[in-house]
Structure 1
Amino acid sequence: MSRTRRARAPLAALVTVTALGGLLAGCGIRSTSVPVDAGAAPSRVGCVLPGGEGKDAAKEPAVRVYLVCGSRVAPVERQVRMPEGRSSAERLPVARKLLEELKRQPGTSEEDAGFETALPPGLEITDGREGDPDEALRLSEPLDELPSFALAQIVCTFADTAAADADNAVTLGGPEGGADEDGDGERSGPPLQRFECGTALRTRPEAAETAGTKV
């Protein structure tokens, strides 16, 4: 082998390794802060579904639900038959329907885009107990025992629906039947909290632990 050919071999190997590293980075194996145009790379980083997917095949209206994607919660649209109107009579049916959607595991396209759900599969919701405000809803698990991401999903999905109040805030509490705190023989439910789906809750779901205002 000539001296020139021997000199070219290491250089060719270096070029190959460098190109391979670039391909791996472009395919999303290691995220970077710099956008990379890699053609058909997964959309996990953007948390965005392909435009219009599923709308032509489904006849139901689109419902917006919030799922976990990376370090935030982000909306996706699903076609779901929902109760019509926004009266107080529709609050619980709407809340139950939305909760079922949140507990449902993401579909293939949602999963490929990086979406997941933090809701416990056995979580249920009911009307408020006697003495609660009309807009109150109670979950089957205490709020402080729910994952903060799950609480953020619920609040942002319920906001701007019949499950929320006139100001699009959501009033939630834990299960009815806590300890007899007053000593009067009646079991008190955990305190209610009022939540709003603001930017902080969407981008930093861990803020849900302190975002509620006691009612």
Structure 2
Amino acid sequence: MRRTPARAALFGALCCATLAGCGIRPTEVPTDFGPAPSRVPCTTGAPEIGTQAAAGIPVRVFLVCSSQLVAVDRTVQLEGEDAASDRVRIAQALVDELQERPSPVEGQAGFTTDVRGPITVAKPQDGDPRATLRLSADPAGLTPFALSQLVCTLAVSEAGDGGRSVVLGGPGDTEPRRYECTDETRSRPGESGPPAQTVG
């Protein structure tokens, strides 16, 4: 059946009326809702080895990204010939790094830190296990994210006790405990924090 110009015009008018009745305004302009949301990369460009050596001693700290712990390379300054073998000074340098706000590059990649200062590190008290690190803040009073960051950062460093664990105590007579940086701790740090057990 041939469609005359009159019929075509009538057909177009009916279509417009139908669209208007449904609350849909016909438009020829494409709608732009912007780009789709992108996933947070949780990665940063690693500095060159020469830059690391000039800036200080390379270390690794754990920051929070996408509700997980992700290792980030940093550099710290340790003065003195025996500084690299001083567990307390190493631990303090790492804790200081965790208390710093992430760099602009780390922030753009989605990294944050839950460790709030000031937190200082001291040597073991009388009666503590030799590997104990005493914090000025009670580990039990820290958030699960903050405690997980501290434990995993210290456990994999020279300040740790080996085997991905570290012995931490708080101020005063708080009893030290051995904390472990497990795969569960790294993947879900905000749920309950790292597992711990009392040490004699």
Structure 1's consecutive aligned runs of 4 or more residues displaced over 6 angstroms after TM superposition are 83-87
Q: Return the TM-score normalized by structure 1.
A: 0.72
Pick aligned residue for 1:77 from 53, 56, 73: 73
Q: Deviations for 1:117-140, whole angstroms, at most 9, x for unmatched residues?
A: 111121111112110001001111
- What is the identity, as a one-letter code, of the residue corresponding to 2:26? P
Pick aligned residue for 1:10 from 23, 26, 32: 26
Q: Is the 8 A contact 1:151 1:208 kept in 2?
A: no
Unaligned 5+ runs, structure 2: 1-8, 20-24
2:184 maps to 1:200? yes
In the alignment, the residues of structure 2 paired with residue 156 and residue 12 of structure 1 have an alpha-carbon distance, to the nearest angstrom, of: 57
2:122 maps to 1:126? yes
**Residue aligning to 2:139:** 143
Identity of aligned residues (%): 33
Matches within 5 A, 1:24-43: 24-26=35-37, 28=38
In the alignment, the residues of structure 2 paired with residue 149 and residue 201 of structure 1 have an alpha-carbon distance, to the nearest angstrom, of: 9
Count matched residues: 179
Unaligned 5+ runs, structure 1: 29-43, 177-188
**Residue aligning to 1:52:** 46
Q: Is the 8 A contact 2:155 2:162 kept in 1?
A: no
In the alignment, the residues of structure 1 paired with residue 191 and residue 197 of structure 2 have an alpha-carbon distance, to the nearest angstrom, of: 12
Point out the structure with max Rg over C-alpha.
Answer: 2
Q: Deviations for 1:87-128, whole angstroms, at most 9, x for unmatched residues?
A: 8x5110110111111111110000001111111121111112
Q: Is the 8 A contact 1:63 1:79 kept in 2?
A: yes
In the alignment, the residues of structure 1 paired with residue 114 and residue 60 of structure 2 have an alpha-carbon distance, to the nearest angstrom, of: 17
**Residue aligning to 1:174:** 170
RMSD: 3.0
Distance 1:153 1:85, change over 3 A: farther
In the alignment, the residues of structure 1 paired with residue 35 and residue 70 of structure 2 have an alpha-carbon distance, to the nearest angstrom, of: 27
In the alignment, the residues of structure 1 paired with residue 167 and residue 90 of structure 2 have an alpha-carbon distance, to the nearest angstrom, of: 14
Pick aligned residue for 2:174 from 174, 190, 211: 190
Q: Return the TM-score normalized by structure 2.
A: 0.76
